[in-house]
Amino acid sequence: MDFELKEEHKLLVEMTRNFTDNELIPIAPEIDAKEIFPKENLKKMAELGLMAMTVPEDYGGSGMDTVSFALAMMEVGRGCASTAVTMSVTNMVAEGIFRFGNEEQRKKYIPPIATGEYAAASFALTEPWAGSDAGAIKTTAIRDGDYYIINGEKVFITSGAYAGVIMVAAVTDKSKGKHGISVFLVEQDTPGLTIGKAEEKMGQRGSNTVSLVFEDCRVPAENLLGQEGDGFKIMLADLDGGRIGIGSLACGVMKACLEESIKYSKGRVQFGKPIAEFQAIQWMIADMATDLEAAKNMVLRAAWLKDQGVRFTQAASMAKLFATEAANRAAYKAVQIHGGYGYTREFPVERFYRDVRVTTLYEGTSEIQRIVIARNILGKL
Ligand SMILES: Cc1cc2nc3c(=O)[nH]c(=O)nc-3n(C[C@H](O)[C@H](O)[C@H](O)COP(=O)(O)OP(=O)(O)OC[C@H]3O[C@@H](n4cnc5c(N)ncnc54)[C@H](O)[C@@H]3O)c2cc1C
* The pLDDT of residue 288: 98
Q: Which atom of ligand 1 is nearest to 365's Cα?
A: 47
124 lines ligand 1 (CB under 6 A): yes
Amino acid 1: pLDDT: 85
User: Is-catalytic flag, 14?
Assistant: no
Span from the CA of 363 to the centroid of ligand 1 (angstroms): 7
For ligand 1, say whether the CB of 28 is within 6 Å of any of its atoms: no
Asked whether the predicted pLDDT for residue 2 surpasses 90, the reply is no
Query: Contact, 104 vs 93, CB < 8 A?
Result: no
Task: Choose among 94, 55, 88: nearest CA to 74.
Answer: 88
Looking at residue 33, which CATH number applies to its domain?
1.10.540.10
Enter the pTM of the model.
0.98
Ligand 1, pocket-test mutation among 92, 126, 249, 358, most atoms within 8 A of CB: 126
CA of 366 to the centre of ligand 1 (A): 10
Q: Is residue 290 part of a domain?
A: yes
Residue 30 Cβ inside 6 Å of ligand 1? The answer reads no
Mean pLDDT of 155-172: 98
pLDDT digits (tens, 9 = 90+) for 259-303: 999 999 999 999 999 999 999 999 999 999 999 999 999 999 999
Mean pLDDT of 38-57: 98
Residue of the CA atom closest to atom 38 of ligand 1? 132
246 pLDDT band, cuts 50/70/90, is very high
Measured CA to CA, the distance from residue 180 to residue 233 in angstroms comes to 11
Angstrom distance (rounded) from CA 189 to CA 79:
32
Number of compact structural domains in the chain: 3
Confidence band of 381 (pLDDT split at 50, 70, 90): confident
Can you give the pLDDT at residue 270? 98
What is the CA(364)–ligand 1 centre distance, in A? 6
- Other CB atoms within 10 Å distance of the CB of residue 357: 17
| Domain stops at, among 120, 150, 170 | 120
- At 30 the pLDDT is 98
Mean pLDDT value of segment 91-106:
98
Domain CATH code at residue 136: 2.40.110.10
Please report the pLDDT score of residue 193 as a whole number: 98
Domain that includes residue 138, residue range: 123-229
User: What are the pLDDT digits (tens) for 315-347?
Assistant: 999 999 999 999 999 999 999 999 999 999 999
Q: Any bridge partners for residue 225, and if so which? A: 183
Q: Is residue 2 part of a domain?
A: no
Q: With respect to residue 177, please indicate whether it lies within any of the assigned structural domains.
A: yes
Residue 380 confidence (pLDDT): 81
Question: Is there a single domain that holds both residue 157 and residue 204?
Answer: yes
Do residues 242 and 362 share a domain?
A: yes
Domain with 363 in it: what CATH number? 1.20.140.10
Q: Is the CB of 198 under 6 A from ligand 1?
A: no
Indicate the residue among 120, 153, 175 that finishes a domain: 120
* Ligand 1 mean position, distance from CA 126 (Å): 8
